[in-house]
Amino acid sequence: MRPLLFLILFIHTALADFWDDRNTLLSNEASQLFGSFWELTENEQKVNDILMKFKLQEYDEGLSNPSKFLPSIHFFHSKAAIEQSEVFKFIQKVPKGASLHSHSTAMLSTEALLNLTYMEGLYGCDDNTKFKLHFFFGGVNDDCDWRLLEDLRNEDSGFDDFLRSKMTLVVDDPAGTCCDINEVWSAFEDIFEFVAPLFDYRQFLHDYLYQVLREFHDDNVKYLEIRGVFGETFDSNNTIYGPLDTAQLYKETQQEFAIDSQDFAGHRVIYSNSRKVSIDTMDSYISDYLELRAAYPEIVVGFDLVGQEDLGEPLSVFADQLATIANRTKFFFHAGETNWYGTTDLNLIDAILLNTSRIGHAFAITKHPEVLRVVKERNIAIELNPISNQVLKLVDDLRNHVGAYLIANGYPVVITCDGPSFWGAKGLSYDWYMAFMGMTPREGDLRILKELAWNSYVYTALDKEGLPFILNLLQGWWDDFIKEILEAYH
Catalytic residue positions, numbered: 337, 361
Question: Under a CB-based contact definition with an 8 Å cutoff, are residues 227 and 103 in contact?
Answer: yes
- Cα separation of 63 and 49, whole Å? 20
In sequence order, which residues have a C-beta less than 8 Å from that of residue 110 and are 6 or more positions away?
Answer: 164, 167, 168, 421, 422, 424
Question: Under a CB-based contact definition with an 8 Å cutoff, are residues 221 and 97 in contact?
Answer: yes
In sequence order, which residues have a C-beta less than 8 Å from that of residue 340 and are 6 or more positions away?
Answer: 310, 364
Side chain identity, residue 65: N
- Cα separation of 24 and 93, whole Å? 35
What SS3 state is found at 100? strand
Q: What sections of 239-324 are H helices per DSSP? A: 243-260, 279-295, 319-323
The residues pairing with 465 across neighbouring beta strands, listed in sequence order, are none
Which H or E run contains 335? strand 332-335
147-148 and 122-127 as β-strands: parallel, antiparallel, unpaired? antiparallel
- Cα separation of 271 and 288, whole Å? 9
The residues pairing with 383 across neighbouring beta strands, listed in sequence order, are 360, 414
- Cα separation of 248 and 235, whole Å? 15
Please report the beta strands in 128-216, taking only residues with DSSP state E, as ranges in sequence order. 130-135, 147-148
User: What is the Cα gyration radius of the chain?
Assistant: 25
Question: Under a CB-based contact definition with an 8 Å cutoff, are residues 195 and 94 in contact?
Answer: no
Contacts 24+ apart (CB under 8 A), 481-489: 481/93, 481/94, 481/95, 481/220, 482/41, 482/43, 482/44, 482/47, 483/43, 484/93, 485/47, 485/50, 485/90, 485/93, 486/43, 486/46, 486/47, 489/50
In sequence order, which residues have a C-beta less than 8 Å from that of residue 258 and are 6 or more positions away?
Answer: 264, 266
